[in-house]
Amino acid sequence: MFNQISVYHNPESGLIVMESEVEQSDTFNPRIPTDRLCSINWCTEGSITVYAKDMTLVDTYGVAERMMITNPSHLSLGRCLLICASETAKYYCLHNNNSQEIYYNGDVIQLSANEERTFTDNNGHFIFCSLGSLTNLNKFALKTIDSDSYTVTAGAEGAIITVFYDSTDD
Amino acid sequence: MSMFGYNTLGFGSIAGTAPVTLDLTLQGGSVSRTNATYTGVSIGTANTNRMVIIQGAVSSYGSITAPTSITLNGTAMTLVRNAYNVFIAYLKVPTGTTATIVISGGGGAFNQQIITINTVNAGANQTSIQSGQAAGNGGSLTHTMTTDPVTTNGVFIWGGNGFNGIPNLSLLTSNPSGATTTLSYSSGSGGSNNAMLMGYSECTTADSRNAQIRNTNTETSGKVASALYSVFTYFQTE
């Protein structure tokens, strides 16, 4: 069973972040054929075990761990099954809602309370906050990194952020 | 304020601008369209602030991919699309009374309603895409988009599709004006366990209001969940 809601959506660009309250299972579909995912997927609560379409175990991912499917043969099967491995889980899927031709790549980062982090190779990339807040970015808000040395500071409750970019042409 | 949108003050006249009125208008009724080119589609009276909005939902069973591209007179419409079964597209179109609409990327035919409103904005003020399942044996699932605050010249335009189990859809809103249905197809019509419902609600207050769609699954075994796919938009004139 799942309920899914867009917590961030830019209809013009198609960028969307869906939040799911997962009680049992869900699936996500990489493009066919493909050797990489077009989406970035992660949890902020609980854990999720990912299986390939042929039910080969891929891995179990906990909070702030980007779900990766590194075996191309598993990706080529075209569908992955996500099983909630905890009582419940809250997971996010960042992708493009307008086109399957657009790929995103990046990192999911957990920051402790008031922790600072400086990004030096991410000018032009985006930051999305899915838990807690940064001093200059609220939960479910998006910001563009606009310098070669960009420092963020987590709020008093810490934060989970996704630093990502459009990797279509990589 | 005098007529013609001019404010007359004691020290002379200051040119003002008449407020934009929403003027929500349904252009015709429900029309089934699939991946194709449609010419001469009525989009109403030309207006510099006109926004053309297309609501779309399927009345056929199962998961039908929503269109990935809709152009109107050659310009791409902005799509608020669920992956399946329901979408809303919009575009500012100041001129013309008819249009050529090209739909592509969809998985089949969608019932569509064209709505026009007036807004100075380039797009929707808020959107939401939601999906989920209502458990069997009377389970229900409600999708909600809340806008805080709305304005008295705002409008929610939203809807959804339900299938599997026995879906029973309803449009709800905290707006005093209630919800007006534009597209509907009920579970059981033609023996199908598929339903769609889309509509709008004009805002009459300036506070927090919501639009909702609810799927109540009346299958009795308790074993068959009913899917709900929905999309929401909120527009306001300024």
- Cβ neighbours around B148 below 10 Å, total: 9
Mean pLDDT of A15-29: 78
User: Within an 8 Å CB–CB cutoff, is residue B198 touching chain A?
Assistant: no
Search chain B and give the residue with CA nearest A2: B132
Asked whether residue B18 is domain-assigned, the answer is no
CB contact under 8 A, B132 and A4: yes
- Within a domain: B15: no
Select from A42, A20, A6 the least CA-distant residue to A159. Answer: A42
Mean pLDDT of B212-229: 93
Is B13 a member of any domain? no
Per-residue pLDDT tens for A65-109? 999 887 777 776 667 778 888 888 899 999 999 888 899 999 999
Asked whether residue B17 is assigned to any structural domain, the reply reads no
b or e along B84-101 (b: 16 or more beta carbons within 10 Å of the residue's beta carbon)? bbbbbbbbbbeeeeebeb
**Residue A41 Cα, gap to closest chain B Cα (Å):** 17
**Burial of A120 (C-beta count, 10 Å sphere; 0-12/13-18/19+):** exposed
pLDDT-based confidence at residue B12 (cuts at 50, 70, 90): very low
Q: Three-state SS across chain A?
A: CEEEEEEEECCCCCEEEEEEEECCEEEECCCCCCCCCCCEEEEEECCEEEEECCCCEEEEECECCCCCCCCHHHHCCCCEEEEECCCCEEEEEEEECCCCCCCEEEEEEEECCCCEEEECCCCCCEEEEEEEEECCECCCCEEECCCCCEEEEEEEEEEEEEEEEECCCC
Higher-confidence residue of A162 and A49: namely A162
In a domain, B136, yes or no: yes
Distance from CA of A66 to the nearest CA of B (A): 22
Number of domains present in the structure of chain B: 1
Average pLDDT, integer, range B212-233: 94
Question: pLDDT digits over B25-71, tens only?
Answer: 999 999 999 999 999 999 999 999 999 999 999 988 888 999 999 99
The residue that leads in pLDDT, A150 or B62, is A150
pLDDT of residue A35: 64
Nearest to B128 among A2, A6, A99 (CB): A6
Which residues from chain A sit within 8 angstroms of residue B225, using beta carbons? 1
**Chain A residue closest in CA terms to B132:** A3
Check residue B192 and give its pLDDT.
65
Flag whether residue B140 sits within 8 Å of chain A, measured between CB atoms. no
> What is the pLDDT, as a whole number, of residue A69?
80
Average pLDDT over residues A13-36: 73
Look up the domain containing B112 and give its range: 25-236
Average pLDDT, chain B: 91
Contacts of A4 in chain B (CB under 8 A): 130-132
pLDDT at A31 over 60: no
| pLDDT band at residue B5 using 50, 70 and 90 as cut-offs | very low
Q: Is residue B202, in this structure, part of any structural domain at all? A: yes
Give the per-residue pLDDT at B10. 36
Cβ–Cβ below 8 Å for A9 and B78: no
Calculate how close chain A gets to B175, using CA atoms only, in Å. Answer: 22
Q: Is residue B1 part of a domain?
A: no
Tell me the pLDDT band of B189, cut-offs 50, 70 and 90. low
**8 Å CB contact of A16 and B129:** yes
Domain contains B12: no
How confident is residue A34, by pLDDT bands cut at 50, 70 and 90? low
- Is B6 a residue whose pLDDT tops 70? no
Whole-prediction pTM: 0.88
Residues A2, A89 contacting (CB under 8 angstroms): no
In this predicted structure, what is the pLDDT of residue B65? 93
Q: Can you give the pLDDT at residue A79?
A: 74
Which residue from A2, A14, A99 is facing B133, i.e. has the nearest CB? Answer: A2
Q: Where are the beta strands (DSSP E) in B186-225?
A: 194-202, 209-217
